[in-house]
């Protein structure tokens, strides 16, 4: 009888832990995603010889659509990117051509950074794509964090496994270690400068580090962020690329 | 003595026919193998030097550390100064800038929408008509469609790539890639011709543009990803190359700059040293194997011959010829057989080599998918002067060794028992 009670209790506790982990994912998603978002951001690519800064303005609708335009440097000014669902188009004013990036080309680096086009396109909610397990607590980047192990529950995902450190107070990711299915670590993301935007908390600085490359990685800094502001439909239209 | 033995060999075919056939076969294979290895390695050295390694190649030290990734951002800056220095110090050599980069090629339809797209590797050469590099690369000779680029932003495609992308002459192809500092690079090119070098790596995945266009699309004015150096008339000389490499690298020995230039020899790149050493080793092993195998066969032939000539040797000893003299005559006979067999084998080996030199052997099934070492789709043997004498080493040595071993039986004959043995 004792054995049965122990097993039932263990089962219930594991279920509740799993539910806790999933509810944490939900809270993270609430912080990271909004209905619409307009942001101005700066990408700092630390090269071996020189550091490059790219400023762009981005419009995001839900988790599937986004549009961005490069504002500087001069060589890239006017380059636009449109993502609709799982498709990505890039427009270059110098050639007046729109090119769709698809398949394995999405794994190419964006502007020589540690980010790939695939990284840029991964906007799906964690709760829809990963199954989480609570593995402990640790301090990370000066914040007390919950540590989660995530395993993909969908096939079409860039990183099969993830280890995530999430702040205990506001459920903002502080660090993510991203792994391939083989268990090989591919990238690391470190977040900082958490600010409150409306009713959610959001990291304004992210560092992407391709662990297979040397260097300091790539910083992604949000300079300005507006949440849940109306964005007209024509922004997310291919015709907007050539305008 | 020689004439006497020679006549004996000619008149008694059972003494000479089988050994000559065995020696000829062995020598034919040895001579042909040398021609085959020579053709294969010469072609490999030439193709790799032209397209991938130069006879020597100058890069920055950091680039050398990551050479397999061909990192554009670690290229040589102020390339003009370095080229001037190289030309001053090694005026007999030809120094050329080369670019090798990857990107997406996108072919639009009449509405500007992507019709076909693919990832391809770009190579940039000096395509001006006076360029030595153009002559070296034999681009004009390998043009199978269209014309050479004559203006800005004109592009040649590998024949296989052009077919796969379904482009027609005059079509616009947009290159999308990254500049030296990682910025996005878009450029429209006009497709003007297709080339076929007979190498899968080049023909199926490569496009060719002029270095001036490459400078612009990669933001590499006065920069060079790699500087190739070629010895006069493009003849590879391992010792000379090593000398140039050592003297150049010595100039920068005490320079602590991580972007200081560093020179690599052809052998230091793409695993070529292993390939070249392996081929030399194979050639030596092959010859040793033939000497050994033929010696065993000829030893057996000698033993059989010895049995058949048992009575002859007995009589010769009985009439007073010394065992040493008989043994010597046997050895001399073997040398004659060896020389005749080697001459016949060398002739046949040369004929086979000539055939493979002219006709070639298609190995495109094996070379497709090969990335690092550039190998032609058709292997051709090469006639070299070494083949005129190399066959005599296994040919004569094997027969001589065979006779040395089998002839020892002469010394085992007891003179006291000879009359009994001969049934007198």
Please state, rounded to an integer, the average pLDDT across all residues of chain B: 85
Lowest-confidence segment of A104-108, B23-27, B189-193 by average pLDDT: A104-108
Rounded Cα gap, residues B55 and B245, in angstroms: 10
Residue B254 C-beta-side C-alpha neighbours within 13 Å: 0
CA-nearest residue to A100 within chain B is B114
Q: Answer whether A75 sits within 8 Å of B108, measured CB to CB.
A: no
Asked whether the predicted pLDDT for residue A234 surpasses 90, the reply is yes
Longest dimension (CA), chain A: 77
According to the model, what pLDDT value does residue B174 have? 95
Interface test with A, best of B109, B179, B186, B219 (most A CBs within 10 A): B186
Asked whether the predicted pLDDT for residue B11 surpasses 80, the reply is no
Say what the ipTM of the complex is: 0.76
- In this structure, whether the domain defined by A36-122+229-242 belongs to CATH 2.50.20.10 is answered with yes
Average pLDDT in the B121-147 region?
90
Average pLDDT in the B410-420 region?
72
- In this structure, whether the domain defined by A24-33+124-218 belongs to CATH 2.50.20.10 is answered with yes
According to the model, what pLDDT value does residue B15 have? 72
B170 inside 8 A of chain A by CB: no
List of residues 6+ apart from A2 with CB closer than 8 A? none
Question: In chain A, what percentage of residues exceed pLDDT 90?
Answer: 58
Under the banding of pLDDT at 50, 70 and 90, the label for residue B48 is confident
According to the model, what pLDDT value does residue B77 have? 94
Average pLDDT in the A186-199 region?
93
Under the banding of pLDDT at 50, 70 and 90, the label for residue A132 is very high
Residue A48 has its nearest CB partner, among B74, B104, B219, at B74
Q: Answer whether A90 sits within 8 Å of B178, measured CB to CB.
A: no
Q: Tell me, rounded to whole angstroms, the distance of Cα B378 from its chain centroid.
A: 12
According to the model, what pLDDT value does residue A4 have? 59
According to the model, what pLDDT value does residue B64 have? 94
Compute the Cα dihedral for B257, B258, B260, B262 and give only its sign. positive
According to the model, what pLDDT value does residue B367 have? 57
CA-nearest residue to B181 within chain A is A112
What is the pTM assigned to this prediction? 0.72
The partner residues of A165 in beta bridges, in order of sequence, read: A147, A175
Highest mean pLDDT among A92-106, B111-125, B253-267: B253-267
CA triple B55-B58-B62, angle to 5 deg = 135
Average pLDDT in the B352-370 region?
75
DSSP-derived letter for residue A113 is: S
Under the banding of pLDDT at 50, 70 and 90, the label for residue A87 is confident
Q: Do domains A24-33+124-218 and A36-122+229-242 have the same CATH topology?
A: yes
How far away is chain A from the Cα of B216, in angstroms, using its nearest Cα? Answer: 12
Residue A47 has its nearest CB partner, among B113, B174, B182, at B182
Under the banding of pLDDT at 50, 70 and 90, the label for residue A3 is low
* CA dihedral of B248, B249, B250, B255, whole degrees rounded to 10: 120
Residue extents of the structural domains in chain A: 24-33+124-218, 36-122+229-242
Residue extents of the structural domains in chain B: 2-48+273-420, 56-230
């Amino acid at each position: 009888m004792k054995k049965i009670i122990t097993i039932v209790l263990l089962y219930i506790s594991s279920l509740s832990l799993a539910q806790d982990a999933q509810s944490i994912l939900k809270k993270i998603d609430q912080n990271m995603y909004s209905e619409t978002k307009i942001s101005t951001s700066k990408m700092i690519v630390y090269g071996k010889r020189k550091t490059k800064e790219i400023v762009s303005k981005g419009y995001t609708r839900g988790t599937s659509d986004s549009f961005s335009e490069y504002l500087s440097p001069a060589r890239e000014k006017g380059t636009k990117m449109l993502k609709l669902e799982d498709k990505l188009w890039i427009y270059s004013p110098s050639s007046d051509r729109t090119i769709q990036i698809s398949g394995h080309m999405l794994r190419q680096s964006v502007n020589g950074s540690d980010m790939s086009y695939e990284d840029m396109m991964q906007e799906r909610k964690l709760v829809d794509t990963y199954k989480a397990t609570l593995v402990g607590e640790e301090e990370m980047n000066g914040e007390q964090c919950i540590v989660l192990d995530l395993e993909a529950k969908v096939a079409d995902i860039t990183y099969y496994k993830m280890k995530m450190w999430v702040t205990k107070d506001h459920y903002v990711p502080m660090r993510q270690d991203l792994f391939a299915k083989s268990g090989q670590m591919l990238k690391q993301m470190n977040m900082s400068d958490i600010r409150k935007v409306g009713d959610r908390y959001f990291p304004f600085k992210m560092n992407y580090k391709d662990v297979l490359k040397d260097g300091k990685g790539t910083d992604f800094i949000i300079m300005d962020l507006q949440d849940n502001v109306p964005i007209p439909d024509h922004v997310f239209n291919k015709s907007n690329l050539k305008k | 003595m020689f004439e006497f033995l020679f006549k004996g060999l000619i008149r008694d075919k059972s003494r000479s026919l089988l050994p000559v056939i065995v020696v000829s076969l062995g020598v034919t294979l040895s001579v042909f193998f040398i021609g085959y290895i020579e053709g294969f390695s010469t072609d490999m050295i030439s193709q790799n030097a032209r397209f991938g390694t130069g006879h020597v190649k100058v890069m920055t030290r950091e680039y050398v550390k990551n050479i397999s990734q061909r990192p554009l951002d670690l290229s040589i800056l102020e390339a003009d100064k370095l080229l001037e220095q190289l030309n001053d110090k090694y005026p007999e050599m030809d120094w050329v800038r080369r670019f090798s980069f990857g990107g997406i090629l996108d072919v639009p339809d009449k509405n500007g929408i992507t019709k076909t797209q693919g990832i391809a590797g770009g190579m940039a050469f000096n395509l001006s008509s006076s360029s030595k590099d153009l002559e070296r690369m034999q681009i004009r000779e390998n043009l199978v469609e269209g014309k050479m680029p004559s203006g800005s932003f004109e592009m040649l495609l590998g024949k296989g790539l052009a077919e796969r992308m379904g482009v027609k002459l005059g079509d616009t192809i947009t290159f999308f890639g990254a500049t030296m500092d990682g910025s996005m690079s878009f450029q429209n090119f006009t497709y003007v011709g297709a080339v076929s070098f007979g190498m899968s790596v080049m023909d199926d995945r490569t496009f060719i543009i002029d270095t001036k266009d490459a400078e612009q699309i990669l933001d590499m004015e006065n920069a060079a990803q790699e500087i190739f150096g070629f010895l006069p008339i493009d003849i590879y000389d391992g010792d000379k190359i090593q000398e140039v490499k050592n003297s150049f690298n010595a100039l920068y020995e005490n320079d602590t700059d991580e972007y200081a230039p560093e020179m690599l020899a052809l052998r230091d790149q793409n695993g070529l040293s292993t390939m070249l050493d392996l081929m030399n080793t194979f050639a030596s092993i092959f010859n040793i194997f033939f000497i050994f195998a033929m010696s065993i066969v000829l030893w057996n032939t000698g033993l059989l011959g010895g049995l058949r000539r048992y009575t002859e040797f007995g009589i010769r000893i009985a009439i007073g010829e010394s065992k040493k003299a008989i043994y010597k005559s046997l050895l001399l006979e073997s040398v004659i057989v060896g020389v005749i067999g080697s001459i016949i084998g060398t002739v046949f080996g040369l004929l086979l080599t000539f055939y493979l030199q002219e006709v070639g052997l298609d190995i495109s099934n094996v070379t497709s998918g090969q990335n690092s070492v550039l190998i032609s789709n058709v292997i051709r043997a090469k006639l070299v002067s070494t083949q005129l004498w190399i066959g005599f080493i296994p040919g004569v040595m094997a027969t001589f060794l065979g006779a040395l071993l089998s002839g020892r039986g002469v010394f085992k004959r007891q003179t006291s028992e000879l009359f009994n043995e001969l049934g007198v």
